[in-house]
Amino acid sequence: MSEITFDQIKDFQAQLAKQPAAGATARAVQNVGPQAASREPIDGEDMKPVFSLDLDTGTVANQKKSGRCWLFATLNTVRHGIADEFGIKDFEFSQNYNAFFDRLEKANLFYENILATADKPLDAREVADYLSGPDQDGGHYDQAEALIEKYGLVPKSIMPETYNSEKTVELNSVLNEKLRKDAKVLRELKQANAGDDAIAAKKREFLSVVYRILAYTFGNPPTQFDFEYRDDKKQYHRDTNLTPQSFFKKYVKWHFDDYVVVASDPEPNKKYHQLYTIASANTVVGGHPLTILNLPPDQLKKLALTQLQAGEAVWFGNDVLADMDRKSGTLKGGLYNYSDLFDLDLHFDKTDRIVTTEAEMSHAMTLTGADVVDGEVTKWKVENSWGKDNGHDGYFVADASWFDQYVYEVVVRKDLLDPADQAALKATPINVPVWDFLN
């Protein structure tokens, strides 16, 4: 192992002195930071929020500083049907209701995973991964589906966001500290062959405390309620004695079984036209499992556009942290030209970014429009969940290059797939570990 020498430092300084405009570059970076100093123009015609295909949608939601984008994007996609059928354009579901049960189910899954790996050392990769984040607020479309199918939905007016989602980090800290402590107890019981009944009783005791923490934080979820609203024509409606499950069945026309998550993961260990799952990340034990069909990247664009043309929004997973200007709502491939700024080659293709962990699925949003020129999409309209003060009243514009580089999965109707890919959905999925990129 070689050290850095002072002769090397002297050589580095000499090379820096030879850089053209080194002083001007340093001043720019130090005054405004690398992003602002390297940003390409964002006000051109190519990024104007005008689209040839534009679904009629309402006011955007606001997840604030929580990591619930996956849940917001799912509820945004589902709520469009209520707007169309019942005439409630700006209707919003209670994110708190589903977030409550998401955290409870994640605690249960964590306990199950800890018990299943009790014979492994704490530094085994699988166990360490479970312990690194026992109960966070991130997730997947399929996890939202499993929650909704089990617990139903309620209007935001019934269970408002009394819990400030900006305090999510504080809740994460409390839950994770408790669950890690619980894990020690459950591992010891399992290793001591305490018996299934004793272990189940202890797990139930732990879950009861988790429920109490969540009730203090989110509020106790309703089991029955009346739904009152005025539609877009100002007509009054009142529906009584609903449960979250009956409300979901009556008002939501989105049939989850009709849709599938389609990813494009080019890693060498992945096959296209192959079904994958992540069993250890199936949040709702016994519920809908994570099911991901891996297809070539051109299929993601084709399927997303076809679904939009059929009048349906598209949930999609992406890396919003890359080439994004939050305030203007710009998602543009190559937006930050660090290569020119620092005089180096930072080109990294999608496969290399994934296998080296440079790439990540950091966000979920909804496609609600596209600009199609000569059959090709030049830009996409994106419904975000960061409130109306970002972008164009909360909507972002993504160019074709950004989609190609940073969109990793979309949720589309199964009947839009080619017959061979529809048949692939019937195959037994390949299970990948919890640390896989698809998670």
**Other CB atoms within 10 A of residue 430 CB:** 14
**Other CB atoms within 10 A of residue 212 CB:** 11
| Best CA proximity match to 417, nearest among 272, 233, 215 | 272
Q: What residue has token string 């009556």?
A: 250
CB 93 within 8 A of CB 153: yes
Distance CA 110, CA 226 (A): 35
| Best CA proximity match to 165, nearest among 6, 358, 326, 387 | 387
CB 159 within 8 A of CB 221: yes
Which of 62, 69, 76, 108 is labelled catalytic? 69
Active site residue 363: yes
The DSSP secondary-structure symbol of 284 reads: S
Beta strand extents in 147-304 (DSSP E only): 225-230, 236-242, 259-263, 274-277, 292-294
Report the SS3 class of residue 316. strand
Q: What residue has token string 């850089």?
A: 19
At how many degrees (to 10) do helices 141-151 and 95-116 cross?
110
202-to-182, 195, 260, 284 alpha-carbon distances in Å: 9, 11, 37, 19
Distance CA 108, CA 146 (A): 14
Active site residue 31: no
In this structure, the dihedral spanned by the alpha carbons of residues 10, 15, 21 and 22, taken in order and rounded to 10 degrees, is -40
Which residue type does 179 have?
Answer: L
**Other CB atoms within 10 A of residue 246 CB:** 13
Which of 80, 282, 363, 390 is labelled catalytic? 363
Active site residue 80: no
Distance CA 141, CA 437 (A): 15
Distance CA 180, CA 176 (A): 6
Distance CA 435, CA 414 (A): 27
Which of 62, 172, 294, 384 is labelled catalytic? 384
Query: CA neighbours within 13 Å on the CB side: how many for 405?
Result: 20
Q: Please give the structure tokens belonging to residue 106.
A: 């994640």
Active-site residue list: 69, 363, 384
